[in-house]
Chains A and B, each alone.
Chain A
């Protein structure tokens, strides 16, 4: 089994592996982390079998390490994502993502009457619930829940 997995998405020498990404969120994660602009090797796989999730996606980014604040930005779309920090083919450290207290950009406010949906403004939210993620808009003060969350 293990060998097969390695064949599906090849190993990296140094860098970051983001595992357990929901398949539907793969391209959102790529977008949020700006991986389309990374100049080192990036490989990803999707619709891979996962015992826990059924199907999952995985991204491997060579020679890139993320700050916690940056990586936590993906928590809205991939709350169960796990990070492996790889040095010389070995897992140096494992991390889980955490929903941050504040969200800047990334999500849209659910309220069509909100100024952020009518003028070019970066959205800002405070996170009022982390388990079932709920965001309170800094501007219109309305709550956007997980079900209605729309990622930019």
Chain B
């Protein structure tokens, strides 16, 4: 993984996923290590994403590295009409690693081809956000003790949600059974179901939570956005079917944990927050360890 950009979750093999999780566990046990001395990481956020940027910057700081960059394109030369290529070529001269967030899809792959240093994709439009997927996997691994043979519930917007698509692709290497819970308008696209069919993996589709929730090892919640519905009445009718409430969890498995990439709106009721099965805030903390692991591995330090 040394010197290799991480643009898409498909850039890593099954063994490489496991290696990242192993290093993340090392950083969780010992989060502050001064291994990035004299290393400069550029965080280029062409669109704001405070949570992701702070997580990366915290990861670099915990490792003793320095951060340069910008937090939205208003404060960069993009406003003067500079191309992405020129910005990346220029910034490559100033740093050892680029972390990039950009609204256009494919921008990270392109940046990795023109940059003289490795690039970590921190989200390219609706396409990929591989560090999110790896931190999701670390959270699953930590709470279940394994990635193998799990019942994974993916809930909410399964049509446009890039996090669920990437998680599906990555976890499909560990023999899961998927349960898709979504309104019909936001169903898992056919191409992903075909992908699972070809691998011989099982999946089931549901229009709402029923007693099947008790089969879950992981419930991965996502936001159902009003804008995704062509018919606002349809949204009003369906939105309540996808809200997770505390009373629904009483007969769920002891090992079950609830994940959410955050930010949440109302899809997880606040009365779930105090349930020990609510894991989404710890999941965000896991993001820092996972990003430490990814950065250290790409820079050849682990």
Contact = CB atoms under 8 A, between A and B. Distances in A.
A142 to B, nearest CB: 7
A36 interface: no
B104 A143 contact: no
B275 to A, nearest CB: 36
Contacts of B125: 113, 140
Interface stretch (B51-59, B105-113, B292-300): B105-113
Nearest to A143: B191
A114 interface: yes
Given A113-B105, A139-B106, A119 B84 contact: yes
Contact of A113 (B8, B83, B110, B126): B126
Nearest to B110: A115
Interface residues of A, number: 17
B109 A113 contact: no
Interface residues of B, number: 18
Contacts of B104: 113-115, 118
B139 interface: no
Contacts, number: 49
Given A111-B105, A114-B105, A115-B104, A140 B191 contact: no
Interface in A95-116: 109, 111, 113-116
A141 B110 contact: no
10 smallest CB-CB distances across A and B, nearest first, come from A139-B106, A140-B105, A140-B106, A115-B106, A115-B107, A115-B104, A139-B109, A113-B105, A114-B106, A115-B110
Interface of A: 109, 111, 113-116, 118-121, 137-143
Interface of B: 8, 83-85, 102-107, 109-110, 124-128, 191
